[in-house]
Structure 1
């Protein structure tokens, strides 16, 4: 996945609308389905937990289906990009310990993966207004830059390919 610039205002606006729509749909759908099931299949003991749970599950599956169906819609561009970025960064994070060891030994692919992770994290944290750990990220990037200089590696986030993670 290649990093790309996105409009923070548009992203936040669209993300908020998607979240609100999901919350409202989950609330209305689960209550509506549960009430329908309770009316069709009343329980003499008055316990309707299983019907309420069924309503939540059916509605959640429906919301997931709708989100997946419309993921390529222009309205969802930024939201899907951030979602996929988070998945890509999570894959790298799971391998980070091995990547750092390999980078210390001069592995170019490991350095590029770590650099991509730092660049993606910087973008993600900026979009989400999570600037608390930016200083720490700057220190990590400086350490990586020192390693890159030591091994004469040019760091470029665009040269990262997720396939290299299979080696680690």
Structure 2
């Protein structure tokens, strides 16, 4: 279950930039070292060693995937980037069934209303964290209208958790 957490946008962007630079430098070092090693071990002096260079980069990509999943993902310096990735994944899971969500909201389904409220809150935070204010005005209007409707029905508007059961229920509704 994903939960939206309060986060300072400037700090988030600074920390994600730092983690991106760290990952890029590690990849660059690995790719160069592995390509050099492949050419040294298997290449021909003065010959065409492109395939060994490409092979070294390919092995570096595979090694980076393993490092990301096994080691880096759980490091404190990666926490903001991991949070951003999880937020976007959660929002995408709602976006993928948005036509069903909106239909269920129109039909008065409380779980769909909670799901849409989570989506609005998450999308608002994503825009804030990414520094993207282009669609924020339209989103604010939609959020306020939906919030007012939820309040009128007595549904809690603080939906900071993505409950997978809400997604499952919405997916089961007829199209």
Instruction: State the structure with bigger RCO (CA 8 A, min sep 6), 1 or 2.
Output: 2
Distance 1:27 1:72, change over 3 A: closer
Distance 1:47 1:107, change over 3 A: same
Distance 1:55 1:163, change over 3 A: farther
How far, CA to CA, are the matches of 2:15 and 2:102 in structure 1? Answer: 36
Q: Could you tell me the TM-score, scaled by structure 1's length?
A: 0.84
Contact 2:110/2:155 (CA < 8 Å) preserved in 1?
yes
Aligned residues: 167
Distance 1:148 1:82, change over 3 A: same
1:85 aligns to what?
A: 87
- 5+ long unaligned stretches in structure 2: none
Which moves more between the two structures, 88-97 or 147-156?
147-156
Q: Could you tell me the TM-score, scaled by structure 2's length?
A: 0.81
2:15 aligns to what?
A: 14
How far, CA to CA, are the matches of 1:74 and 1:42 in structure 2? Answer: 40
How far, CA to CA, are the matches of 2:34 and 2:161 in structure 1? Answer: 49
Cα shift at 1:127: 1.1
Runs (4+) of structure 1 exceeding 4 A deviation are 149-152
Distance 1:141 1:127, change over 3 A: same
How far, CA to CA, are the matches of 2:74 and 2:161 in structure 1? Answer: 25
Q: Does 1:96 align with 2:91?
A: no
How far, CA to CA, are the matches of 2:117 and 2:19 in structure 1? Answer: 31
Which moves more between the two structures, 27-36 or 152-161?
152-161
User: Cα RMSD (Å) of the superposition?
Assistant: 2.3
Contact 1:106/1:151 (CA < 8 Å) preserved in 2?
no
